[in-house]
Amino acid sequence: MIATDTLVSFFLETRQHTEDICKPLEIEDYVVQPIVDVSPPKWHLGHTSWFFEEFILKPHKPNYKLFHEDFAFVFNSYYENVGKRVIRNDRGNLSRPGVAKVYDYRHYVTNEMKDFLSGEISAEIEKILLIGIHHEKQHQELLITDIKYILGNNPLLLKYNHSFSENPHQKFQREWIEMDEGIYEIGHKNSDEFCYDNELGRHKVFLHDYKISNKLVTNAEYLEFINAGGYKDFNLWHAEGLDWVKQNQIEAPMYWHNIDGEWHQYTLQGLQKIDADAPLSHISYFEAFAFAQWKECRLPTEFEWEAAQQNFEWGSRWEWTESAYLPYPGYKKAPGAIGEYNGKFMVNQKVLRGGSVATPNKHTRPTYRNFFQTNLRWQFTGLRLAQ
């Protein structure tokens, strides 16, 4: 059990941080949804509040009064167990509730929670509370990547602010970390520390000898791949990846713009020349795989990554692995809506390990399993080579 004070602070800091992320926005930026994977910021603000209302306040706080009875309908996301969900790509069509109203909703929920948490917190509540806090942290990361998409896909190429640093350099040479064949323990130890259900079930995995790079692939390296015709060499690609490249006429990572022959990158600080030493970002799994093929290397599995991770720095990019997102041995979906969190996505997605410049504080860890479809690029995704 965590001390109540600590828990409450953790909750309130998280609620506050979400709002801090939105400070640079104009009201209009909260509303739009340019692609289905990006949600309007006001939806994130509402949805993370709805989570606490739905799973804590409504069932557990005596005499709790819903802020607005239609909001569960508007701000639910993917939870089939909790009523009729809004079709996901309709979110950007709803001008109301307006931004001010959504903030009212947030503050109402935050205050009601504060009130509720001033009493005794049972183990059950603590568990759901922690899920809710980490759920909100995930949406903090999505807020940043979704805001980047909203501002960066506007022909005006708008800046978010002047301080968000996307491109930390890796000031060291590439080295290959050599790992020995053997049985490794993989997964979370189920200690007091929070983790998601998909990390549990610590188990043994046999790994053969392998090498893994201490350094993420850089923009400079990827530029060589582009210049060598990597996007046109079909031998490097999965069949499905090649179809994706052709249909979408992909020629570079997302946010790269070739202006008069010179490559630029849209960042949250605006358009900049490509930073050669920065870690590559905003690529799909298909591109990560093709690049590795071109280098006559491969992507690590998530097990190889976890077994070796203490030997290298990580956290600036979500790193595509070769592993499909599958349940660990003994994985059981929790009953009810909370159980929909992870298990139902365990097909046709790839695991990403690490974290990114958009990941909030205290959110990721060595056993954390992120996952996306193989074609998605709007997250800060990169890669690390293995052999």
Residues lying near its own copies in the complex (CB under 8 A): 26-34, 42, 70, 73-74, 78, 80-81, 86, 92-99, 150-151, 153-156, 158, 183, 203-206, 208, 234-235, 237-242, 285-286, 289, 298, 322-324, 326-327, 329-330, 333, 339-340, 344-348, 374
For residue 177, give the amino acid letter: I
235 vs 310, beta carbon nearer its own copies? 235
Shortest Cβ distance from residue 186 to its own copies (Å)? 10
- Residue 24: asked if its preceding bond is cis (omega within 30°), the reply is no
Asked whether 199 and 297 are in contact (CB, 8 A), the reply is no
Shortest Cβ distance from residue 336 to its own copies (Å)? 8
For the chain, the farthest-separated pair of C-alpha atoms sits apart, in whole angstroms, at 66
Residue 305 has phi, psi (to 5 degrees) of -60, -50
Shortest Cβ distance from residue 329 to its own copies (Å)? 5
For residue 241, give both structure tokens.
């990846």
Question: CB count, 10 Å around CB of 170?
Answer: 16
Q: Which residues contact 33 (CB under 8 A, 6 or more apart)?
A: 39, 40, 43, 89, 91, 92, 93
Asked whether 357 and 270 are in contact (CB, 8 A), the reply is no
98 vs 366, beta carbon nearer its own copies? 98
CA atoms of 276 and 220, how far apart (whole Å): 4
Shortest Cβ distance from residue 69 to its own copies (Å)? 11
244 vs 263, beta carbon nearer its own copies? 244
Asked whether 159 and 151 are in contact (CB, 8 A), the reply is yes
Shortest Cβ distance from residue 26 to its own copies (Å)? 5
97 vs 360, beta carbon nearer its own copies? 97
For residue 207, give the amino acid letter: L
Shortest Cβ distance from residue 150 to its own copies (Å)? 6
Shortest Cβ distance from residue 72 to its own copies (Å)? 11
28 vs 124, beta carbon nearer its own copies? 28
Shortest Cβ distance from residue 374 to its own copies (Å)? 6
Asked whether 259 and 316 are in contact (CB, 8 A), the reply is no
The H or E element containing residue 240 is: helix 239-248
116 vs 149, beta carbon nearer its own copies? 149
Asked whether 210 and 305 are in contact (CB, 8 A), the reply is no
134 vs 333, beta carbon nearer its own copies? 333
Shortest Cβ distance from residue 301 to its own copies (Å)? 8
Shortest Cβ distance from residue 28 to its own copies (Å)? 4
For residue 273, give the amino acid letter: K
229 vs 330, beta carbon nearer its own copies? 330
116 vs 305, beta carbon nearer its own copies? 305
Report the alpha-carbon angle 103-131-57, nearest 5: 55
Strand pairing of 381-382 and 318-324? Answer: parallel
For residue 29, give both structure tokens.
């930026």
CA atoms of 355 and 368, how far apart (whole Å): 9
Of 198, 195, 320, 222, residue with least CA distance to 276: 222
232 vs 365, beta carbon nearer its own copies? 232
CA atoms of 352 and 277, how far apart (whole Å): 22
